[in-house]
Amino acid sequence: MPSWEVHEKWAARLGLPEDVTQLVNHLSDFPDSCAEFREFCEREGERLILPLAWSHDFETIMKLPKYLQLRFTQRKGSAFVTAWYLHYVLDYIRMAPSLSAEEVIAKTEARFESSEELDLIKHLVWEHETELVSDCRK
């Protein structure tokens, strides 16, 4: 994954507060040790997961950890959702060097629902693709 410095750089470019970026970095990379997320999962996880698990759709079931993180950030507000999508996309760009940034965005859009926050990330990637990809793949 890209370093947190890379995540912080691009979050700052979007004007995201540092505390939001720090929480989302921790949530994304160490969800088990994020107490607030653990409390959310204990309180609401079953209600959110059961309908998905009952679908018996393997692809849907494999989305559960990220699905819960996204739902958690949605409860916290738009800045958290934006930071979460940014973290996810930057990690994806790093993990999939054979994909272009545009392909990463398309796959991310296909996996998650459309939102204003994801649109912000899409525009950031389009406007700064060369620099962003270089930062992620160092």
Write the pLDDT tens digit of every residue in 33-91: 999 999 998 898 888 777 777 766 666 666 778 889 999 999 999 999 999 999 999 99
Taking phi first (over 0 means left), then psi (-120 to 50 degrees means alpha), and beta for anything else, what does residue 77 get? left
Q: How far apart are CA 130 and CA 64, in angstroms?
A: 31
Concatenate the DSSP letters of all residues of 6-40 into one string. HHHHHHHHTT--HHHHHHHHHHHH-GGG-HHHHHH
Residue 4: its H or E element: helix 4-13
pTM above 0.85, yes or no: yes
Number of domains the chain is built from: 1
Q: DSSP alpha helices (H): ranges in 14-137?
A: 18-29, 35-40, 46-53, 58-62, 64-76, 78-95, 101-111, 116-127, 129-136
**pLDDT per residue over 96-118, tens digit each?**
999 999 999 999 998 888 899 99
**Which residues form the domain of 42?**
4-136
Task: Assess contact for 49 and 64: CB atoms under 8 A.
Answer: yes
- CA angle 102/106/111 to nearest 5° reads 145
